[in-house]
């Protein structure tokens, strides 16, 4: 089984279908690497960076809706 290190936080990530954000360990790390927090997402309604990161990352099951752009 292949294991890689998350480019953002260097946490070990198993290279498998379950690791949907590989080579990143999480959606958060993927977005951080892409620079989205610094450019756009971090400005929504003055929400703090921390709050923005926690809403869908840690406790909820994987949901395909999370991968789609916001359409509202």
| Sole window of 6-14, 33-41, 45-53, 60-68 interacting with Zn ion (rule: CB under 5 A) | 6-14
Nearer to Zn ion, 28 or 71 (CB): 28
Which of 29, 31, 32, 53 forms a contact with Zn ion (CB under 5 A)? 29
Q: CB-wise, 36 or 70, nearer to Zn ion?
A: 36
For residue 43, CA distances in Å to 23, 27, 52, 53, 64 come to 27, 18, 10, 13, 24
Residues that bind Zn ion (CB under 5 A): 6, 8-9, 11, 25, 29
């Amino acid at each position: 089984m292949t294991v890689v290190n998350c480019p953002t936080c260097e946490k070990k990530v198993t290279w498998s279908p379950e690791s949907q954000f590989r080579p990143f360990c999480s959606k958060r790390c993927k977005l951080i690497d892409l620079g989205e927090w610094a450019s756009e997402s971090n400005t929504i309604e003055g929400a703090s960076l921390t709050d923005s990161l926690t809403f869908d990352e840690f406790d909820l099951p994987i949901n395909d809706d999370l991968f789609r752009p916001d359409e509202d």
